[in-house]
């Protein structure tokens, strides 16, 4: 049986416009975003955070290079951050980075093993941005408000 090309492409067109699951709005709980205390930024939107951590935005307004740092893939704080701030599951974020890596485009942010390591990195790197568990000690860095 010959299947007309137009039918094949039309089937693809119809099926691809079925919308997916909408990203969740930032919840503000489950993580807190931190930047270096010298960074003038005091608030970020979910879109800002997504672009920073997916390396689609690579410099702060003053021109300083952005250095995002991530948490371990199976940590609770990363799961909360991925779902709420990046609008996708940790698994989907890993797949996103696989596509970036193997198309030769980019590599994921550095991954540090704990909240303390993230705080220390952000404290000592002027362009760094990270996230830590809510209520965790963030001395020496600045916690950023997340705006909708």
Partner 1 sequence: MNTRAEKVLAPGHRLAVTTLLVTLAAAAHAAHPAAAQSTDGRLSVHGFLTQAYGRTDGHQVLGITSEGTSDYRVAALQFRFDADPENAFVLQFSHERLGRSPLSEVEPEVDLDWVFYERRFGEHTVVRVGKVRTPLGLFNEIRDVGTLLALYRAPVSVYGEQVYASETVNGAMVGRRIPLGTWALDVDAFYGSWDFVQYDLATYAHVDGGYGGQVWVNTPIDGLRAGAGHLRYTVGNLVNAPADAEDDHVAWIASLEGNFTRLSVRSELFHASFGETDLGYIGKAERYYVQAVVNVTDWLGVVGQAEFEDLRLDVSGPFGFSFDGNENRDLAVGVRYAPAPNLAVKLEGHAFRGYRIEDGALPYGAPRARAKYALLSVSTSF
Comparing C-alpha atoms, which of 118, 116, 96 is closest to residue 106? 96
Compute the least distance from the CB of residue 46 to partner 1, in Å: 13
Structural contact between residues 33 and 133, judged by C-beta atoms closer than 8 angstroms: no
**DSSP state for residue 120 in the 8-state scheme:** H
DSSP β-bridge partners for residue 33: 131, 144
Tell me which residue has tokens 């596509």: 99
Residues from 70 through 129 that contact partner 1 (CB under 8 A): 70, 73-74, 87-89, 91-92, 94-95, 97-99, 101-105, 107-111
Q: Smaller CB distance to partner 1: residue 16 or 139?
A: 16
142 touches partner 1 (CB under 8 A)? no
Please state, in angstroms and rounded to a whole number, the distance separating the CA atoms of residues 66 and 125. Answer: 10
Residue numbers of the site for partner 1 (CB under 8 A)?
2-3, 5, 8-9, 11-13, 15-23, 56-59, 65, 70, 73-74, 87-89, 91-92, 94-95, 97-99, 101-105, 107-111
């Amino acid at each position: 049986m010959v299947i007309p090309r137009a039918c094949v492409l039309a089937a693809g067109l119809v099926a691809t416009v079925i919308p997916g699951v909408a990203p969740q709005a930032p919840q503000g709980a489950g993580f807190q975003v931190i930047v270096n205390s010298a960074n003038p930024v005091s608030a970020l939107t979910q879109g800002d955070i997504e672009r920073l951590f997916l390396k689609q935005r690579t410099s702060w307004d003053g021109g300083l290079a952005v250095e995002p740092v991530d948490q371990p893939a199976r940590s609770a704080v990363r799961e909360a951050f991925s779902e709420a701030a990046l609008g996708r599951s940790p698994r989907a974020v890993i797949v996103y980075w696989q596509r970036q890596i193997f198309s030769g485009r980019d590599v994921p942010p550095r991954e540090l093993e704990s909240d303390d390591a993230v705080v220390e990195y952000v404290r000592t790197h002027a362009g760094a941005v990270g996230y830590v568990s809510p209520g965790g000690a963030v001395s020496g860095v600045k916690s950023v408000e997340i705006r909708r």
